[in-house]
Structure formats: C-alpha cells, structure tokens
Amino acid sequence: QVQLVESGGGLVQPGGSLRLSCAASGSIFRINAMGWFRQAPGKQRELVAVITRYSSTNYADSVKGRFTISRDNAQNTVYLQMNSLKPEDTAVYYCNAGLRRSDSATYTNYWGQGTQVTVSS
C-alpha cells in the first residue's frame, strides 16, 4: 500500500508564508515527477508546481516568484514553500506523485488527501 500524506496547511494572513510537506510511504520502487495541485471552491483542480526527479521545476504563472517547490528523494518527500500569500491562494492543496511500486512494472499517479490553505485577515 502506498500513501501520500500532506501537512503544513492552515490559516495565514495576506502576505504571510506557509510550507507544505508531502511524504510518500509504502513499497515504492521509484518516484518520478511530484507536484502540487489546488482546488478552490467552485473551481477545477489546477496545477501549482511540479518537480522532476532531477529537480527541474515548472510553476503556474499565478505563483511564479512566490512559491518554491523542492524535494528530498531519500525521504520520498516534496515541499512547497509559499510566500507572499494572497486571498486567491485559498484552496485545498493536493500532493501528486508518479511512482512505481515495488511489485509493479508500471508507473501510476497517486494523490494525497489534501490540506486546506486559507489566506485571510
């Protein structure tokens, strides 16, 4: 069984910072890309940032210059440092990983359960 568990969400004032973490656990052979998505009420889920195994990154235009994605391959963990937060960043943030289980020859997408980020004064 493979699990992705997020942590670090919460309530923050505009202009503040939060750091999200997502740890993958279980019988994992290898993880390729990892990423963060978010879904605000009444909106579709959207990509926030993605990082390859070799640390190439890509960001949504709305977060460029404010958010930074990073990962620790040894710990199967991905992070999202969020600075200069705005009310429009309010959403449930989901971790995603494309990984191969130890008992499989193929790669599958896994999702975390989501963590709420609320930016409000």
What is the token pair recorded at 70?
């990073």
Phi-psi region at 96: left, alpha or beta (left = phi > 0; alpha = psi -120 to 50): beta
Angle at the Cα of 44 from the Cα atoms of 92 and 64, rounded to 5 degrees: 70
CA 21 to chain centre: 7
Amino acid 35: pLDDT: 98
CA 66 to the chain's CA centroid: 15
Share of the chain above pLDDT 90, in %: 99
- pLDDT tens by residue, 80-94: 999 999 999 999 999
- Determine the pLDDT at residue 100: 95
Average pLDDT score over the chain: 97
For the chain, the maximum distance between any two Cα atoms, rounded to a whole number of angstroms, is: 48
Integer Rg of the chain from CA:
14
When pLDDT is averaged across residues 48-73 and rounded to a whole number, the result is 97
| Residue 109, amino acid | N
pLDDT band at 13 (very low <50, low <70, confident <90, very high): very high
95-117 tens-digit pLDDT: 999 999 999 999 999 999 999 99
pLDDT score at 69: 98
